[in-house]
Structure 1
Amino acid sequence: MAIDYEALFRAFQSIVGRETMTDDEIGSTFKDLMSALVHFDHVVVFAYRGKERPIDLFRTFDPDENVVFVTLYQAGPYLLDPFYHTAVERLEGVFRMRELAPDRFFSSEYYRTYYIQTGLAEEIGFFVPLPEEITVVLSLMRKQDSGPFLAKEFALLKGAEKTVAKFVRRYWGSLAPRFEVQRQSGANLGKRGSKGEIEEQAGDAVWRELNLTNRETAIVDLVLRGHSSESIGLKLNISTGTVKVHRRNVYRKLNISSQTQLLSIYLKMLNRH
Protein backbone atom coordinates (compact mmCIF):
# COMPACT_ATOMS: atom_id res chain seq x y z
CA MET A 1 0.00 0.00 0.00
CA ALA A 2 1.07 3.60 -0.60
CA ILE A 3 1.80 5.85 2.35
CA ASP A 4 -1.39 7.64 3.43
CA TYR A 5 0.06 11.06 4.15
CA GLU A 6 -3.31 12.55 5.10
CA ALA A 7 -3.81 9.89 7.78
CA LEU A 8 -0.22 10.33 8.90
CA PHE A 9 -0.64 14.08 9.38
CA ARG A 10 -3.96 13.58 11.20
CA ALA A 11 -2.28 11.21 13.64
CA PHE A 12 0.54 13.66 14.31
CA GLN A 13 -1.90 16.54 14.67
CA SER A 14 -3.81 14.63 17.36
CA ILE A 15 -0.81 14.75 19.71
CA VAL A 16 0.44 18.28 19.08
CA GLY A 17 0.58 20.12 22.41
CA ARG A 18 -0.55 17.11 24.46
CA GLU A 19 1.25 16.90 27.80
CA THR A 20 -0.25 13.59 28.81
CA MET A 21 -2.31 10.85 27.19
CA THR A 22 -4.14 7.76 28.41
CA ASP A 23 -2.95 4.28 27.43
CA ASP A 24 -5.75 3.98 24.90
CA GLU A 25 -4.92 7.37 23.38
CA ILE A 26 -1.23 6.51 23.12
CA GLY A 27 -1.93 3.08 21.65
CA SER A 28 -4.55 4.39 19.23
CA THR A 29 -2.19 7.11 18.02
CA PHE A 30 0.54 4.54 17.43
CA LYS A 31 -1.96 2.36 15.55
CA ASP A 32 -3.05 5.30 13.38
CA LEU A 33 0.55 6.27 12.62
CA MET A 34 1.47 2.74 11.59
CA SER A 35 -1.77 2.29 9.61
CA ALA A 36 -0.69 5.19 7.42
CA LEU A 37 2.44 3.21 6.52
CA VAL A 38 1.46 -0.47 6.30
CA HIS A 39 -1.49 -2.81 6.69
CA PHE A 40 -1.76 -5.01 9.79
CA ASP A 41 -4.54 -6.80 11.65
CA HIS A 42 -3.70 -6.26 15.31
CA VAL A 43 -1.64 -4.15 17.68
CA VAL A 44 -0.60 -5.18 21.17
CA VAL A 45 1.73 -3.30 23.52
CA PHE A 46 3.41 -4.85 26.55
CA ALA A 47 5.83 -3.38 29.07
CA TYR A 48 8.44 -5.79 30.42
CA ARG A 49 10.71 -5.45 33.44
CA GLY A 50 13.15 -8.23 34.15
CA LYS A 51 11.46 -11.36 35.44
CA GLU A 52 8.12 -9.73 36.22
CA ARG A 53 4.79 -10.41 34.57
CA PRO A 54 4.43 -8.06 31.58
CA ILE A 55 1.95 -5.20 31.80
CA ASP A 56 -0.67 -4.98 29.05
CA LEU A 57 -0.76 -1.36 27.88
CA PHE A 58 -2.86 -1.54 24.70
CA ARG A 59 -4.47 -4.12 22.45
CA THR A 60 -6.97 -4.31 19.55
CA PHE A 61 -8.33 -7.84 20.09
CA ASP A 62 -11.91 -8.94 20.47
CA PRO A 63 -12.75 -10.70 23.78
CA ASP A 64 -12.02 -14.21 22.49
CA GLU A 65 -8.72 -13.17 20.93
CA ASN A 66 -7.79 -11.31 24.11
CA VAL A 67 -7.91 -14.58 26.05
CA VAL A 68 -5.17 -16.05 23.83
CA PHE A 69 -3.03 -12.98 23.19
CA VAL A 70 -3.16 -11.44 26.68
CA THR A 71 -4.77 -13.53 29.43
CA LEU A 72 -3.11 -16.85 28.59
CA TYR A 73 0.13 -15.12 27.61
CA GLN A 74 0.48 -13.34 30.95
CA ALA A 75 -0.28 -16.55 32.81
CA GLY A 76 3.12 -18.01 31.89
CA PRO A 77 3.76 -18.59 28.18
CA TYR A 78 5.43 -15.17 27.93
CA LEU A 79 8.44 -16.73 29.65
CA LEU A 80 9.10 -18.69 26.45
CA ASP A 81 8.40 -15.82 24.04
CA PRO A 82 11.35 -14.57 21.90
CA PHE A 83 9.97 -11.03 22.25
CA TYR A 84 10.10 -11.32 26.04
CA HIS A 85 13.70 -12.49 26.04
CA THR A 86 14.71 -9.75 23.59
CA ALA A 87 13.04 -7.15 25.82
CA VAL A 88 14.87 -8.46 28.89
CA GLU A 89 18.15 -8.25 26.95
CA ARG A 90 17.34 -4.54 26.45
CA LEU A 91 17.78 -4.58 22.67
CA GLU A 92 16.43 -1.55 20.83
CA GLY A 93 15.00 -1.42 17.32
CA VAL A 94 12.44 -3.02 15.02
CA PHE A 95 12.59 -6.80 14.62
CA ARG A 96 10.62 -9.56 12.94
CA MET A 97 9.68 -12.51 15.15
CA ARG A 98 11.59 -14.86 12.84
CA GLU A 99 14.76 -12.80 13.33
CA LEU A 100 14.63 -13.34 17.09
CA ALA A 101 13.22 -16.87 17.31
CA PRO A 102 15.53 -19.83 18.08
CA ASP A 103 16.35 -22.26 15.27
CA ARG A 104 13.60 -24.75 16.20
CA PHE A 105 11.01 -22.23 17.43
CA PHE A 106 8.46 -22.92 14.70
CA SER A 107 8.57 -26.65 15.38
CA SER A 108 8.77 -26.34 19.17
CA GLU A 109 6.06 -27.58 21.48
CA TYR A 110 5.52 -23.99 22.71
CA TYR A 111 4.78 -22.93 19.14
CA ARG A 112 2.49 -25.89 18.45
CA THR A 113 0.70 -25.68 21.80
CA TYR A 114 0.40 -21.92 22.38
CA TYR A 115 1.69 -19.65 19.64
CA ILE A 116 -0.16 -21.37 16.80
CA GLN A 117 -3.43 -20.45 18.54
CA THR A 118 -2.75 -16.84 17.58
CA GLY A 119 -3.20 -17.65 13.90
CA LEU A 120 -0.49 -15.17 12.96
CA ALA A 121 1.48 -15.12 9.73
CA GLU A 122 3.98 -12.66 11.17
CA GLU A 123 4.68 -10.33 14.07
CA ILE A 124 6.95 -7.29 14.07
CA GLY A 125 7.96 -5.49 17.26
CA PHE A 126 9.26 -2.03 18.10
CA PHE A 127 11.53 -2.45 21.16
CA VAL A 128 11.98 0.69 23.25
CA PRO A 129 14.16 0.41 26.40
CA LEU A 130 13.19 2.81 29.21
CA PRO A 131 14.79 3.70 32.55
CA GLU A 132 14.59 1.30 35.50
CA GLU A 133 15.12 -1.82 33.34
CA ILE A 134 11.76 -1.47 31.58
CA THR A 135 11.28 -2.20 27.86
CA VAL A 136 8.10 -1.40 25.95
CA VAL A 137 7.36 -3.64 22.96
CA LEU A 138 4.80 -2.47 20.40
CA SER A 139 3.77 -5.37 18.18
CA LEU A 140 2.16 -5.23 14.76
CA MET A 141 0.52 -8.51 13.81
CA ARG A 142 -0.72 -10.02 10.58
CA LYS A 143 -3.05 -13.01 10.37
CA GLN A 144 -2.54 -15.86 7.94
CA ASP A 145 -4.97 -14.35 5.42
CA SER A 146 -2.92 -11.13 5.29
CA GLY A 147 0.42 -12.89 4.91
CA PRO A 148 3.83 -11.66 6.14
CA PHE A 149 5.11 -8.10 5.81
CA LEU A 150 6.92 -7.34 2.57
CA ALA A 151 10.53 -6.15 2.60
CA LYS A 152 9.51 -2.64 1.54
CA GLU A 153 6.92 -2.50 4.34
CA PHE A 154 9.50 -3.58 6.89
CA ALA A 155 11.81 -0.86 5.55
CA LEU A 156 9.08 1.75 6.17
CA LEU A 157 8.68 0.53 9.74
CA LYS A 158 12.44 0.64 10.27
CA GLY A 159 12.35 4.24 9.06
CA ALA A 160 9.81 5.07 11.78
CA GLU A 161 11.93 3.50 14.54
CA LYS A 162 13.34 6.71 16.07
CA THR A 163 10.01 8.53 15.90
CA VAL A 164 8.22 5.68 17.66
CA ALA A 165 10.94 5.49 20.33
CA LYS A 166 10.65 9.22 21.09
CA PHE A 167 6.86 8.95 21.18
CA VAL A 168 6.98 6.04 23.63
CA ARG A 169 9.52 7.74 25.87
CA ARG A 170 7.43 10.90 25.90
CA TYR A 171 4.13 9.31 26.91
CA TRP A 172 5.03 5.92 28.42
CA GLY A 173 8.31 6.96 29.97
CA SER A 174 7.32 6.46 33.64
CA LEU A 175 5.99 2.96 34.01
CA ALA A 176 7.92 1.89 37.12
CA PRO A 177 5.08 2.85 39.51
CA ARG A 178 2.77 0.45 37.66
CA PHE A 179 5.15 -2.43 38.20
CA GLU A 180 5.23 -1.52 41.89
CA VAL A 181 1.43 -1.63 42.04
CA GLN A 182 1.49 -5.01 40.32
CA ARG A 183 4.17 -6.23 42.72
CA GLN A 184 2.15 -5.16 45.75
CA SER A 185 -0.95 -6.87 44.38
CA GLY A 186 0.98 -10.15 44.19
CA ALA A 187 0.33 -10.51 40.46
CA ASN A 188 3.88 -11.45 39.51
CA LEU A 189 5.23 -14.90 38.77
CA GLY A 190 8.16 -15.14 41.12
CA LYS A 191 9.51 -15.45 44.65
CA ARG A 192 10.34 -12.18 46.42
CA GLY A 193 13.06 -11.29 48.84
CA SER A 194 12.80 -9.04 51.89
CA LYS A 195 13.20 -5.87 49.82
CA GLY A 196 10.56 -6.88 47.29
CA GLU A 197 12.85 -7.81 44.42
CA ILE A 198 12.02 -10.96 42.49
CA GLU A 199 14.76 -13.34 43.56
CA GLU A 200 13.61 -16.36 41.62
CA GLN A 201 11.64 -16.52 38.40
CA ALA A 202 8.66 -18.84 38.58
CA GLY A 203 10.06 -20.93 35.74
CA ASP A 204 13.27 -21.45 37.72
CA ALA A 205 11.26 -22.39 40.81
CA VAL A 206 9.40 -25.04 38.81
CA TRP A 207 12.58 -26.86 37.87
CA ARG A 208 14.04 -26.47 41.36
CA GLU A 209 10.95 -28.11 42.85
CA LEU A 210 11.36 -30.95 40.37
CA ASN A 211 14.95 -31.45 41.59
CA LEU A 212 16.68 -30.51 38.35
CA THR A 213 20.28 -29.32 38.48
CA ASN A 214 21.25 -25.83 37.28
CA ARG A 215 22.62 -27.27 34.04
CA GLU A 216 19.49 -29.35 33.46
CA THR A 217 17.34 -26.30 34.17
CA ALA A 218 19.25 -24.20 31.64
CA ILE A 219 18.89 -26.91 29.00
CA VAL A 220 15.16 -27.57 29.41
CA ASP A 221 14.47 -23.83 29.41
CA LEU A 222 16.24 -23.53 26.05
CA VAL A 223 14.49 -26.64 24.76
CA LEU A 224 11.07 -25.19 25.54
CA ARG A 225 12.01 -21.86 23.95
CA GLY A 226 12.72 -23.69 20.67
CA HIS A 227 16.48 -24.26 20.58
CA SER A 228 17.89 -27.40 18.98
CA SER A 229 20.50 -29.51 20.79
CA GLU A 230 23.14 -27.96 18.52
CA SER A 231 22.03 -24.42 19.40
CA ILE A 232 21.92 -25.24 23.11
CA GLY A 233 25.43 -26.68 22.94
CA LEU A 234 26.73 -23.47 21.36
CA LYS A 235 24.98 -21.28 23.93
CA LEU A 236 26.21 -23.29 26.92
CA ASN A 237 29.59 -24.16 25.43
CA ILE A 238 29.07 -27.89 25.73
CA SER A 239 28.89 -30.66 23.13
CA THR A 240 25.68 -31.69 21.42
CA GLY A 241 26.15 -35.16 22.89
CA THR A 242 26.30 -33.72 26.42
CA VAL A 243 23.09 -31.77 25.77
CA LYS A 244 21.33 -34.97 24.69
CA VAL A 245 22.56 -36.83 27.78
CA HIS A 246 21.17 -34.10 30.04
CA ARG A 247 17.85 -34.14 28.17
CA ARG A 248 17.56 -37.91 28.62
CA ASN A 249 18.35 -37.52 32.33
CA VAL A 250 15.63 -34.88 32.70
CA TYR A 251 13.06 -37.04 30.95
CA ARG A 252 13.99 -39.98 33.19
CA LYS A 253 13.75 -37.83 36.35
CA LEU A 254 10.33 -36.54 35.36
CA ASN A 255 9.16 -39.91 34.03
CA ILE A 256 8.23 -38.45 30.65
CA SER A 257 9.14 -39.26 27.05
CA SER A 258 8.31 -36.16 25.02
CA GLN A 259 8.59 -32.38 24.83
CA THR A 260 4.78 -32.25 24.91
CA GLN A 261 4.83 -33.74 28.40
CA LEU A 262 7.68 -31.45 29.43
CA LEU A 263 5.70 -28.33 28.44
CA SER A 264 2.58 -29.68 30.12
CA ILE A 265 4.45 -30.11 33.42
CA TYR A 266 6.00 -26.66 33.05
CA LEU A 267 2.69 -24.84 32.49
CA LYS A 268 0.88 -26.82 35.17
CA MET A 269 3.56 -26.02 37.75
CA LEU A 270 3.62 -22.35 36.75
CA ASN A 271 -0.05 -22.06 37.67
CA ARG A 272 0.85 -23.02 41.23
CA HIS A 273 3.15 -19.97 41.66
Structure 2
Amino acid sequence: MLDVHSSGWYQLLAELTPKTGQPGFFKVLSDALGQIIHIDCTGAIFYDGTEVTNVFEGNLSPEYSEYLKQYLQGMYLLDPHYSFLSNGVETGIYRFRDIAPDCFHESKYYESFVKPVGITDEFDFIVNINNRYLDFYLNRLSGEFSAADKAALTAIAPMICYLIETHWQAQEKTSRQSTQTTYTPHYHSFFDSFGKSILTSREQEVVKCILHGHSSKSLADKLNISLSTVKIHRKNIYQKLDIKTQSELFSLCIQSLSLTESSEFDDPLSILKSKRISD
Protein backbone atom coordinates (compact mmCIF):
# COMPACT_ATOMS: atom_id res chain seq x y z
CA MET A 1 0.00 0.00 0.00
CA LEU A 2 1.16 3.54 -0.75
CA ASP A 3 1.96 6.01 1.99
CA VAL A 4 -0.10 9.20 1.55
CA HIS A 5 3.09 11.20 2.09
CA SER A 6 5.02 9.34 -0.61
CA SER A 7 5.89 10.53 -4.10
CA GLY A 8 3.80 7.65 -5.46
CA TRP A 9 0.64 9.02 -3.90
CA TYR A 10 1.31 12.53 -5.19
CA GLN A 11 1.80 11.05 -8.63
CA LEU A 12 -1.63 9.41 -8.35
CA LEU A 13 -3.14 12.76 -7.38
CA ALA A 14 -1.50 14.37 -10.40
CA GLU A 15 -3.11 11.72 -12.61
CA LEU A 16 -6.48 12.00 -10.86
CA THR A 17 -6.88 15.77 -11.04
CA PRO A 18 -7.38 15.98 -14.85
CA LYS A 19 -10.12 13.35 -14.56
CA THR A 20 -12.44 15.74 -12.69
CA GLY A 21 -15.49 16.48 -14.81
CA GLN A 22 -14.96 13.29 -16.82
CA PRO A 23 -17.34 10.26 -16.79
CA GLY A 24 -14.78 7.87 -15.28
CA PHE A 25 -13.73 10.08 -12.38
CA PHE A 26 -15.18 8.01 -9.53
CA LYS A 27 -13.71 4.78 -10.89
CA VAL A 28 -10.26 6.38 -11.03
CA LEU A 29 -10.76 7.80 -7.53
CA SER A 30 -11.75 4.37 -6.21
CA ASP A 31 -8.68 2.77 -7.77
CA ALA A 32 -6.43 5.46 -6.31
CA LEU A 33 -7.82 5.10 -2.78
CA GLY A 34 -7.53 1.34 -3.11
CA GLN A 35 -3.77 1.79 -3.35
CA ILE A 36 -3.50 3.31 0.14
CA ILE A 37 -6.03 1.18 2.10
CA HIS A 38 -7.96 -2.04 1.57
CA ILE A 39 -11.49 -1.31 0.29
CA ASP A 40 -14.05 -3.93 -0.72
CA CYS A 41 -16.45 -1.68 -2.57
CA THR A 42 -17.22 1.97 -3.22
CA GLY A 43 -20.05 4.12 -4.51
CA ALA A 44 -21.43 7.63 -4.72
CA ILE A 45 -24.93 8.86 -3.92
CA PHE A 46 -26.33 12.36 -4.41
CA TYR A 47 -28.92 13.84 -2.03
CA ASP A 48 -30.62 17.04 -3.15
CA GLY A 49 -33.51 17.26 -0.70
CA THR A 50 -36.16 15.97 -3.11
CA GLU A 51 -34.63 12.76 -4.39
CA VAL A 52 -31.68 10.43 -3.95
CA THR A 53 -29.64 9.50 -7.02
CA ASN A 54 -27.15 6.70 -7.53
CA VAL A 55 -24.13 8.32 -9.17
CA PHE A 56 -21.55 5.52 -9.13
CA GLU A 57 -21.16 2.00 -7.83
CA GLY A 58 -17.95 0.03 -7.83
CA ASN A 59 -17.48 -3.70 -7.18
CA LEU A 60 -20.90 -4.17 -5.57
CA SER A 61 -22.14 -7.70 -4.98
CA PRO A 62 -25.58 -8.75 -6.27
CA GLU A 63 -26.87 -8.51 -2.69
CA TYR A 64 -25.49 -4.99 -2.34
CA SER A 65 -26.98 -3.92 -5.69
CA GLU A 66 -30.40 -5.21 -4.59
CA TYR A 67 -30.12 -3.33 -1.31
CA LEU A 68 -29.13 -0.16 -3.18
CA LYS A 69 -32.17 -0.55 -5.44
CA GLN A 70 -34.48 -0.71 -2.41
CA TYR A 71 -32.57 2.14 -0.80
CA LEU A 72 -33.20 4.44 -3.76
CA GLN A 73 -36.87 3.46 -3.87
CA GLY A 74 -37.45 4.93 -0.42
CA MET A 75 -35.57 2.87 2.14
CA TYR A 76 -33.07 5.75 2.46
CA LEU A 77 -35.64 7.49 4.67
CA LEU A 78 -34.79 4.99 7.42
CA ASP A 79 -31.04 5.27 6.92
CA PRO A 80 -28.87 7.18 9.44
CA HIS A 81 -27.05 8.85 6.53
CA TYR A 82 -30.22 10.64 5.41
CA SER A 83 -31.17 11.64 8.93
CA PHE A 84 -27.64 12.95 9.46
CA LEU A 85 -27.63 15.01 6.25
CA SER A 86 -31.10 16.42 6.84
CA ASN A 87 -29.75 18.31 9.85
CA GLY A 88 -27.01 20.01 7.81
CA VAL A 89 -23.46 18.71 7.46
CA GLU A 90 -20.11 20.30 6.70
CA THR A 91 -17.86 18.92 3.98
CA GLY A 92 -15.47 16.31 5.35
CA ILE A 93 -14.88 12.65 6.07
CA TYR A 94 -17.14 10.74 8.44
CA ARG A 95 -17.14 7.22 9.81
CA PHE A 96 -20.56 5.60 9.73
CA ARG A 97 -20.27 4.24 13.28
CA ASP A 98 -19.92 7.82 14.51
CA ILE A 99 -23.18 9.02 12.95
CA ALA A 100 -25.34 5.93 13.52
CA PRO A 101 -27.62 5.68 16.61
CA ASP A 102 -26.31 3.62 19.51
CA CYS A 103 -28.52 0.59 18.83
CA PHE A 104 -28.53 0.78 15.03
CA HIS A 105 -27.17 -2.77 14.73
CA GLU A 106 -30.14 -4.00 16.74
CA SER A 107 -32.71 -2.20 14.59
CA LYS A 108 -35.04 -4.07 12.26
CA TYR A 109 -33.82 -1.93 9.36
CA TYR A 110 -30.25 -3.13 9.92
CA GLU A 111 -31.27 -6.75 10.49
CA SER A 112 -33.54 -6.89 7.44
CA PHE A 113 -31.66 -4.83 4.88
CA VAL A 114 -28.10 -3.89 5.84
CA LYS A 115 -26.80 -6.99 7.59
CA PRO A 116 -27.47 -9.36 4.62
CA VAL A 117 -25.19 -7.15 2.50
CA GLY A 118 -22.31 -7.79 4.90
CA ILE A 119 -21.09 -4.22 5.49
CA THR A 120 -18.80 -4.22 8.53
CA ASP A 121 -17.28 -0.72 8.34
CA GLU A 122 -17.65 2.44 6.28
CA PHE A 123 -16.11 5.84 5.69
CA ASP A 124 -17.93 8.59 3.80
CA PHE A 125 -16.44 11.56 2.00
CA ILE A 126 -19.41 13.94 2.23
CA VAL A 127 -19.30 17.10 0.15
CA ASN A 128 -21.79 19.91 0.77
CA ILE A 129 -22.61 21.50 -2.58
CA ASN A 130 -25.03 24.38 -2.02
CA ASN A 131 -26.84 22.47 0.72
CA ARG A 132 -27.04 19.33 -1.36
CA TYR A 133 -24.73 16.41 -0.66
CA LEU A 134 -22.51 14.07 -2.61
CA ASP A 135 -21.60 11.05 -0.49
CA PHE A 136 -18.67 8.98 -1.77
CA TYR A 137 -18.55 5.89 0.44
CA LEU A 138 -15.85 3.30 1.12
CA ASN A 139 -16.96 -0.06 2.52
CA ARG A 140 -15.38 -3.06 4.16
CA LEU A 141 -17.33 -6.30 3.95
CA SER A 142 -15.17 -8.10 6.51
CA GLY A 143 -13.15 -6.68 9.36
CA GLU A 144 -12.73 -3.00 10.10
CA PHE A 145 -10.65 -0.10 8.88
CA SER A 146 -7.56 0.27 11.03
CA ALA A 147 -6.34 3.31 12.93
CA ALA A 148 -3.71 3.74 10.21
CA ASP A 149 -6.46 3.65 7.55
CA LYS A 150 -8.38 6.35 9.41
CA ALA A 151 -5.26 8.49 9.74
CA ALA A 152 -4.49 8.17 6.02
CA LEU A 153 -8.04 9.04 4.94
CA THR A 154 -8.20 11.97 7.36
CA ALA A 155 -4.91 13.34 6.00
CA ILE A 156 -6.08 13.32 2.38
CA ALA A 157 -9.74 14.23 3.04
CA PRO A 158 -9.43 17.96 2.20
CA MET A 159 -7.90 17.19 -1.19
CA ILE A 160 -10.31 14.35 -2.00
CA CYS A 161 -13.34 16.43 -1.05
CA TYR A 162 -12.03 19.30 -3.18
CA LEU A 163 -11.64 17.00 -6.19
CA ILE A 164 -15.13 15.53 -5.71
CA GLU A 165 -16.67 19.00 -5.51
CA THR A 166 -14.72 20.18 -8.56
CA HIS A 167 -15.84 17.12 -10.48
CA TRP A 168 -19.50 17.51 -9.55
CA GLN A 169 -19.62 21.21 -10.35
CA ALA A 170 -18.04 20.54 -13.74
CA GLN A 171 -20.61 17.82 -14.41
CA GLU A 172 -23.49 20.10 -13.46
CA LYS A 173 -22.09 22.91 -15.59
CA THR A 174 -21.92 20.53 -18.52
CA SER A 175 -25.55 19.51 -17.99
CA ARG A 176 -26.53 23.19 -17.58
CA GLN A 177 -27.65 22.78 -13.98
CA SER A 178 -26.71 25.96 -12.12
CA THR A 179 -24.72 25.64 -8.92
CA GLN A 180 -24.45 29.37 -8.35
CA THR A 181 -27.58 29.90 -6.27
CA THR A 182 -27.38 28.83 -2.66
CA TYR A 183 -30.66 27.48 -1.34
CA THR A 184 -31.94 25.33 1.48
CA PRO A 185 -33.82 22.32 0.10
CA HIS A 186 -36.35 20.57 2.28
CA TYR A 187 -35.07 17.16 3.24
CA HIS A 188 -38.51 15.63 3.60
CA SER A 189 -38.75 13.15 6.37
CA PHE A 190 -41.12 10.26 5.92
CA PHE A 191 -41.78 10.69 9.63
CA ASP A 192 -43.27 14.15 9.08
CA SER A 193 -46.39 12.36 7.88
CA PHE A 194 -46.11 8.81 9.25
CA GLY A 195 -48.89 8.47 11.87
CA LYS A 196 -49.71 12.19 12.02
CA SER A 197 -53.46 11.49 11.94
CA ILE A 198 -53.15 9.10 14.90
CA LEU A 199 -50.11 10.10 16.94
CA THR A 200 -49.07 13.31 18.64
CA SER A 201 -46.04 15.16 17.24
CA ARG A 202 -43.93 13.95 20.18
CA GLU A 203 -45.06 10.35 19.59
CA GLN A 204 -44.03 10.73 15.95
CA GLU A 205 -40.57 11.80 17.11
CA VAL A 206 -40.37 8.75 19.37
CA VAL A 207 -41.36 6.45 16.48
CA LYS A 208 -38.66 8.00 14.30
CA CYS A 209 -36.01 7.42 16.96
CA ILE A 210 -37.13 3.82 17.56
CA LEU A 211 -37.03 2.92 13.87
CA HIS A 212 -33.65 4.57 13.38
CA GLY A 213 -32.12 2.38 16.08
CA HIS A 214 -31.96 4.56 19.18
CA SER A 215 -32.02 2.81 22.54
CA SER A 216 -34.48 4.08 25.17
CA LYS A 217 -31.63 5.95 26.88
CA SER A 218 -30.42 7.51 23.64
CA LEU A 219 -34.00 8.40 22.74
CA ALA A 220 -34.52 10.04 26.13
CA ASP A 221 -31.31 12.05 25.76
CA LYS A 222 -32.13 13.10 22.21
CA LEU A 223 -35.65 14.31 23.08
CA ASN A 224 -34.66 15.55 26.55
CA ILE A 225 -37.24 13.41 28.34
CA SER A 226 -37.02 10.80 31.10
CA LEU A 227 -36.83 7.04 30.58
CA SER A 228 -40.21 6.64 32.27
CA THR A 229 -41.70 9.09 29.76
CA VAL A 230 -40.19 7.09 26.91
CA LYS A 231 -41.93 3.97 28.24
CA ILE A 232 -45.25 5.82 28.43
CA HIS A 233 -44.87 7.06 24.86
CA ARG A 234 -44.04 3.54 23.63
CA LYS A 235 -47.11 2.13 25.38
CA ASN A 236 -49.40 4.81 23.94
CA ILE A 237 -47.96 4.42 20.44
CA TYR A 238 -48.43 0.66 20.43
CA GLN A 239 -52.00 1.03 21.69
CA LYS A 240 -52.90 3.64 19.09
CA LEU A 241 -51.39 1.60 16.25
CA ASP A 242 -52.85 -1.66 17.58
CA ILE A 243 -49.48 -3.41 17.70
CA LYS A 244 -47.47 -5.13 20.42
CA THR A 245 -43.86 -5.23 19.21
CA GLN A 246 -41.18 -3.15 17.52
CA SER A 247 -41.19 -5.68 14.68
CA GLU A 248 -44.83 -4.86 13.98
CA LEU A 249 -44.00 -1.15 14.03
CA PHE A 250 -41.23 -1.75 11.49
CA SER A 251 -43.64 -3.79 9.34
CA LEU A 252 -46.11 -0.89 9.31
CA CYS A 253 -43.29 1.42 8.31
CA ILE A 254 -42.18 -0.80 5.41
CA GLN A 255 -45.75 -1.16 4.18
CA SER A 256 -46.16 2.61 4.33
CA LEU A 257 -42.96 3.21 2.37
CA SER A 258 -44.24 0.96 -0.40
CA LEU A 259 -47.42 2.98 -0.93
CA THR A 260 -47.20 4.61 -4.35
CA GLU A 261 -50.40 6.65 -3.94
CA SER A 262 -49.28 8.66 -0.92
CA SER A 263 -47.74 12.12 -1.08
CA GLU A 264 -45.47 13.75 1.48
CA PHE A 265 -48.58 15.40 2.97
CA ASP A 266 -50.61 12.20 3.42
CA ASP A 267 -50.50 9.99 6.47
CA PRO A 268 -49.60 6.58 4.99
CA LEU A 269 -51.12 4.85 8.02
CA SER A 270 -54.53 6.32 7.12
CA ILE A 271 -54.15 4.98 3.60
CA LEU A 272 -53.20 1.56 4.94
CA LYS A 273 -56.20 1.58 7.24
CA SER A 274 -58.51 2.50 4.36
CA LYS A 275 -57.08 -0.23 2.18
CA ARG A 276 -57.64 -2.83 4.91
CA ILE A 277 -61.24 -1.73 5.36
CA SER A 278 -61.91 -1.85 1.60
CA ASP A 279 -60.31 -5.29 1.36
TM tier, smaller? 0.7 to 0.9
Determine if contact 2:20/2:163 at 8 Å carries over to the other structure.
Answer: no
1:13, distance to aligned residue in structure 2 (A): 4.3
CA distance in 2, matches of 1:103, 1:261: 21
Is 1:93–2:81 an aligned residue pair?
A: no
Q: SS at 1:172's partner residue?
A: helix
2:214 match: 227
2:79 match: 81
TM-score, with length taken from structure 2: 0.80
1:64, distance to aligned residue in structure 2 (A): 4.3
CA distance in 2, matches of 1:242, 1:121: 34
CA distance in 2, matches of 1:17, 1:260: 50
Aligned amino acid, residue 269 of structure 1 = S
2:54 match: 56
Runs of at least 5 residues in structure 1 that lack an aligned partner in the other structure: 182-196
Cα gap change, 1:19 to 1:254, in 2 (>3 Å): closer
Is 1:207–2:195 an aligned residue pair?
A: yes
1:115, distance to aligned residue in structure 2 (A): 1.4
Cα gap change, 1:129 to 1:74, in 2 (>3 Å): same
Q: SS at 1:206's partner residue?
A: coil
Q: How many residues align?
A: 249
Q: Deviations over 1:70-119 (max 9, x none)?
A: 11111222122222222232133222211111111111222112211220
Q: SS at 1:91's partner residue?
A: coil
1:2, distance to aligned residue in structure 2 (A): 4.4
CA distance in 2, matches of 1:199, 1:158: 28
2:111 match: 112
Cα gap change, 1:109 to 1:156, in 2 (>3 Å): same
1:121 match: 120
Is 1:161–2:157 an aligned residue pair?
A: yes
CA distance in 2, matches of 1:33, 1:101: 27
Cα gap change, 1:19 to 1:100, in 2 (>3 Å): closer
- Identity, % of aligned positions: 28
1:134 match: 132
CA distance in 2, matches of 1:2, 1:13: 15
Cα RMSD (Å): 2.7
CA distance in 2, matches of 1:17, 1:176: 17
CA distance in 2, matches of 1:112, 1:102: 14
CA distance in 2, matches of 1:199, 1:138: 19
1:203, distance to aligned residue in structure 2 (A): 3.4
Cα gap change, 1:76 to 1:18, in 2 (>3 Å): closer
Cα gap change, 1:140 to 1:253, in 2 (>3 Å): same
CA distance in 2, matches of 1:233, 1:271: 30
Determine if contact 2:77/2:190 at 8 Å carries over to the other structure.
Answer: no
TM-score, with length taken from structure 1: 0.82
CA distance in 2, matches of 1:218, 1:140: 31
CA distance in 2, matches of 1:237, 1:139: 32
1:129, distance to aligned residue in structure 2 (A): 0.8
234, 237, 252: which one aligns with 2:239? 252
Is 1:151–2:139 an aligned residue pair?
A: no
1:6, distance to aligned residue in structure 2 (A): 8.0
Determine if contact 2:109/2:211 at 8 Å carries over to the other structure.
Answer: yes
Cα gap change, 1:175 to 1:101, in 2 (>3 Å): farther
Determine if contact 2:94/2:125 at 8 Å carries over to the other structure.
Answer: yes
In our comparison, the structure showing a higher alpha carbon Rg is 2
Determine if contact 1:232/1:243 at 8 Å carries over to the other structure.
Answer: yes
